[in-house]
Amino acid sequence: MFPSFVDVRIAPSWGGRGSRPSVDYVRFVLREMTATDLERVLEINQTNVPDVSDATTEHLGRLVDMSSIALVSTVDAEVAGFCIVFGAGADYESVNYQWFMDHHPTSMYLDRVAFDERFHGRGLGSEMYAEVDRAIREHHPDATGLTLEVNIDPPNEPSLAFHRKLGFDEVGRQMSHGIEVSLMHRPL
């Protein structure tokens, strides 16, 4: 369904003001998630709770099986992050997914995206979203938007700022598993 990979070279993160990276570039690859990625994806997921929901390997495997898009980003062959996206009509009982299907039924739903903390601030998230947009346009041309939620309480300010920068607007709020979330949408 997707190209086997998108190969991009990115600058490593800088050590601070005035410092220089120890290497010039690293190899960054975006590719479809496979069953062999699930253990590492679970590790990344669990270190990002409560920004993403708690999961098990089995639960993540079911999500990937139901998803329309499931990608990993690798840096020098190490899985650095992942995302899982659903289309309309998925058999997914998430209250957030259901809200979006009621209010934005022709949009895709990004259920979760997370990165290993060591890879934050390197542009991987922006590249991941660009690939999701490309995949939606190519494989789901009738989709009119991309939806997701971001925690408000407890707050996830970096994620809110990142998503606003990418053009997402808040279209609602609700409680989800005891956490207040901002329900966000961006037209495609």
pLDDT one-digit tens code per residue, 46-80: 999 999 999 999 999 999 999 999 999 999 999 99
Residue 2 above 60 pLDDT? Answer: no
Residue 136 to residues 92, 120, 125, 140, 184, Cα–Cα distance (Å): 19, 24, 16, 5, 17
Residue 12 above 70 pLDDT? Answer: no
Rounded mean pLDDT, 30-46: 97
Output phi, psi for 86, to 5 deg. -115, 150
Rounded mean pLDDT, 86-111: 97
pLDDT one-digit tens code per residue, 113-162: 999 999 998 999 999 999 999 999 999 999 999 999 999 998 999 999 99
Alpha helices in the chain (DSSP H): 38-47, 57-66, 95-103, 124-139, 157-165
pLDDT at 28: 87
Residue 58 maps to which CATH number?
3.40.630.30
pLDDT band, residue 4 (cuts 50/70/90): very low
Task: Decide if 151 is inside a domain.
Answer: yes
What is the value of pTM for the model shown? 0.88
**71 and 33 Cβ atoms separated by less than 8 Å:** yes
Task: Decide if 149 is inside a domain.
Answer: yes
Task: Decide if 1 is inside a domain.
Answer: no
Q: How many domains does the chain have?
A: 1
Count the alpha carbons within 13 Å of 15 in the hemisphere toward its beta carbon. 6
Task: Decide if 47 is inside a domain.
Answer: yes
Residue 171's SS3 state is: strand
pLDDT band, residue 9 (cuts 50/70/90): low
- Which range marks the domain in which residue 118 is found? 6-187
Cα distance between residue 78 and residue 44, in whole Å:
12
**Which of the two residues, 8 and 142, has the higher pLDDT score?**
142
Task: Decide if 97 is inside a domain.
Answer: yes
pLDDT at 160: 96
Task: Decide if 21 is inside a domain.
Answer: yes
